[in-house]
Chain A
Amino acid sequence: MLREKMYDVIVVGAGFSGSIVGTKIAQKGVNPSSGERLKVAMIDGGPYFKGKPKWGYGIPSRRQMFTHIPQDMRQGDRAGRVVEGYTFKGVGGGSVQWGAKGHPPDDKDYEWWARETGVDWTKENMKEAVREFLHMFNSHTIPDNLLHEYHLRFRDVARSMGYKPEKMLVHKKNCIMCGTHAEFQPQCRYDAKTSTLLTYIPIAEENGVEILPNTKVEQVIIGKKGTQWVATGIWYREKGELVQKAEAKKIIVACENFGTPLLLYASGYGPKDLLGDKLIVENPNVGSHIDGHPASMGGVSARFEDIVVHEPGDGNYGFWFLDDKDSQGSDRLFMLSGAETHPSSFWGAHTYALSYWAPEFGHKHKDWMRNNWKVWRHISGGSFYGPMVAYSHWSAPKARLLPDRSFQFDHEHPTIKKRQKECRDLLWAVFEKMGAKEVRDDPAEPVRRTIASPAGLRHDVGSCRAGEDPKNSVINANFECHDIANLFIVDSSTHPRATSLWSGGAVVATVGIFAADRIIAKHFSRSQM
């Protein structure tokens, strides 16, 4: 119970970033004036599946919770549990482990972050964070002999076209290759995807962090000390309880790119035009500058008759390459040989029912579903349908999040249209060279985009971005809020710009580790005494 307690640190949001930063502060941080260990609370609106990981087996609570029915734990448009309209993925978050793949920032991304807002998040400064990320998440690549022929063809074609394909980094341990690992779920039944629930959270428990699941933080309490605005605590509500108050010396908000600005809006911090008379502290950058990867850039898929998969393997990963338009990496396409290439590693049978190859409806549709595969988990024949993931990285228009959780984003912007066309043409050419029997445009993509991601973006970042100038950012490079003392933000919302590889949790985790190290060094180390 938090009631009537005073903490050194409250971390709001025990997802990917929050669990990393809270764990590291509890493990390595000390009170700078007394040298004593810190009292840390980690709060999350979602559930907590507690237990030490048993890699490749899973533990009963997690095995039971993560079912293979997409609608079960998944509600709304993002995996997680919906409480009063907000989505909570639970303690440990849900990013790297969805696909269990991704890369830390590319060299050009570090340069772009500095160009965008002046942060010193350089490759050199972040190298220790990258090293820790790769170690903690057991990052590795899959040997060629476990990749499907589809990926190897993609690699060979990319090389023949003058590109430099590289293997996707995967983050898992003792994967049993069940064939359902890319299902749209935030965890793995067998504890193979290396999430923060399995890596950092057990360390948090060992270091006495108080973890409060199913607890919704309503507001950060902002008061005034002299002329300075100061964060002093939170208003929160446990499941079925009345609103309570908790105080802390430092508040770290880690509710991800959409949740963080919404909490700050509710706390009275943000743009004047959106908050009106609820405004306490003004910063027009809160909720703005949202960047990300458009949910679909290619809109093309292909059918192969000469690729047959007999055995579920480790087929979700494959190769990627970048198509750069200039030496600065300012305008680049990222091409990946299928995020969910193996048919049974899709999100469930319904994914095939909705594929662009399935007849629209009626008996034809049902026959196609009945006859297309023998048994999905043990493929024994049939055509192979090859998806490919692609997205563009460029200086596109940014989105803005409104307090009602809607977005302002121009999907019809000429830059987006132009890049979609370039991307589509490149995908088409690659598929043809790979020997596809048939290549099709994807007619249903605009609708799918509407359902999957209201902003039409994934790997979204930037709603509370870091920068040197308060005029164009919310926090500084040390993750301290420009306008409110003792308030920190550590999550995807702080990234000045989306990175150019398959990013998601890999970059979030890297920046989270980096943030924790900086916050400890500046606020919770003996050198401060």
Chain B
Amino acid sequence: MRRALLLLVPLALFGLASRFAGFEVRPRGSSELDVSTGVYTLPSGGTITDNRSGLVLEARYIQYKEGEFIRAQGATLRSREGDFSASSLEYLQKPDTLRLNGVRFSSKEIRGLSAQQGLLLKEDVLVLKGEVRSSEPYLEASVVVVDTSQNLALVLGNFSFRDGATTLRGNRPDSTLLLSFAEGRVRASTRVPVEILNRLRPYADRL
């Protein structure tokens, strides 16, 4: 169960995403500018680097408009914490959100984390939805909402979490599990305080 703490690792990575305010672009091939909209298109993809955070976005196809959005397909985000990929990605600067499809993440600590959809919000909340899985530690869930500001993770729906010889399962579609991290320890409870449930559950509906 202590390894549930690792759920916060990818969020630390996503937190860097909001720094794509000033970035450097290297097209792989041509770069096309639509002067009427100010949107750049990199049809052969390329690399976008945030020099302050060291975050690097590589993609097979990129569209972006400075100060507004970045859209990418076949995207990979590289950072010191690990590699993250998505079949498609959309970063909006206002509001500061990162929306992902076909999410995959791997690092030294956590392997093979994947979800059908991901959403990172300005308020440091990450939502993973649809066949959320990781192979090490082993996790299967329908929805995970992670709130790094409060060191909380809310698991909704059927879930299965294996740690060593023990496997914890929520067997009902309305199962809830709140993981909280404090002082290097993880606490898990299926009795989720109403105020936390009411605050975090709506994030799941935004995907």
Decide whether A and B are members of one complex.
no
